[in-house]
A and B are shown apart, each in its own frame.
Chain A
Amino acid sequence: MTIDDLLNQIQPRLGLEAETEHEVLEEIRGHLEEAVAAAKARGLDEPQALLEAAAAFGVEQATAELHATHAGRGTLEGVAAAALPVIFTLVLRWLIFAPDGTAGAWREMLSQPALIVIAAVVMLVPLLRFPRRRYAIALWIFFWGLSLITAVWPTVRW
């Protein structure tokens, strides 16, 4: 048995989202490497060292608690990371565009300090707050893309 074999046994027990699972497995790998190296330094051979490391780690109990700690969190963070930019984009859109849906005054609005502050906060919050910032970035690009289309073609009604 190798560390990879052991990690392959642990992986399905974790039952986590891919990104969280990858990080947790990386951390467990590091732990097992340290434990195996320490056991080998005490004179054990590789298979014995790994068996000792696995027993000391407590695979069953640890994976159950890791699952309980992380399960569903990634989804929640993903939803929050997705929802916040949408809400903020709607606020910005409401500030920039006229109530009738046209973007006639968008150039003037972009120079307003309040808008710049809001936009900066809106950009930074999802990036700083959420580990899954790729969702936030992707949604930002998507919604700002939509807004730019309305700015480039101000007569388009939304």
Chain B
Amino acid sequence: MEKLDQMRKGTTTLAILKLLVDTGEPMHGYQIAHALESRSRGSFQFKEGLIYPRLHQMEREGLLRSEWEGQRGSRRRKVYLPTAEGQQRLTEELKQWQAFSLSMEQLLGLAG
């Protein structure tokens, strides 16, 4: 269970960064949670509230920055954007992911 949690956290970071970079627009937590589910065609499902600890941790690590949209007292949304460090991390992790995926395909005899 702990291993699964760690895998989820690791892959969620990568998935969030990719989504935000691809979208190029600031997004709030609800949008991010639903966009991830939609992009994965439902295979990437998790309790929506779990997106927030991950977003906050990523912000603390300097991968994302956030800002509030809307005025106090009205409908306010905290939106997230990737930082330059986040974009760099995404590039690095995508390379690692591709290398890992390729080597696993070869190992398992799945590569054409």
Interface residue ranges, A against B (CB under 8 Å): 23-24, 26-28, 30-31, 33-35, 56-59, 61-63, 65-66, 68-70, 73
Contacts and interface: CB of A to CB of B under 8 A. Distances in A.
Query: Interface size bucket, B side?
Result: 10 to 19
B48 A69 contact: no
Given A31-B30, A57-B47, A61-B47, A26 B52 contact: no
B69 to A, nearest CB: 9
Interface string B19-30: 000000000111
Nearest to B49: A62
Name A's interface SS. helix
A21 to B, nearest CB: 13
A28 B76 contact: no
10 contacts: A30-B28, A30-B30, A35-B30, A56-B48, A62-B49, A62-B52, A63-B49, A65-B50, A66-B52, A66-B56
Interface in B18-76: 28-31, 46-50, 52-53, 56-57, 60, 75-76
B48 A27 contact: no
Contacts of B49: 28, 31, 57-59, 61-63, 66
A68 B50 CA distance: 12
Interface string B71-86: 0000111100000000
Contacts of B60: 73
B78 A62 contact: no
Interface in B76-108: 76-78
A62 B30 contact: no
Contacts of A73: 60
Given A30-B78, A33-B75, A65-B52, 18 more contacts: A27-B29, A27-B78, A28-B52, A30-B29, A30-B30, A31-B28, A35-B48, A56-B48, A58-B47, A58-B49, A61-B49, A62-B49, A65-B50, A65-B53, A66-B49, A69-B56, A70-B56, A73-B60
Nearest to B72: A26
B77 A57 contact: no
A33 B31 CA distance: 12
A58 B53 CA distance: 13
Contacts of A31: 28-30, 48-49, 52
A49 B28 CA distance: 20
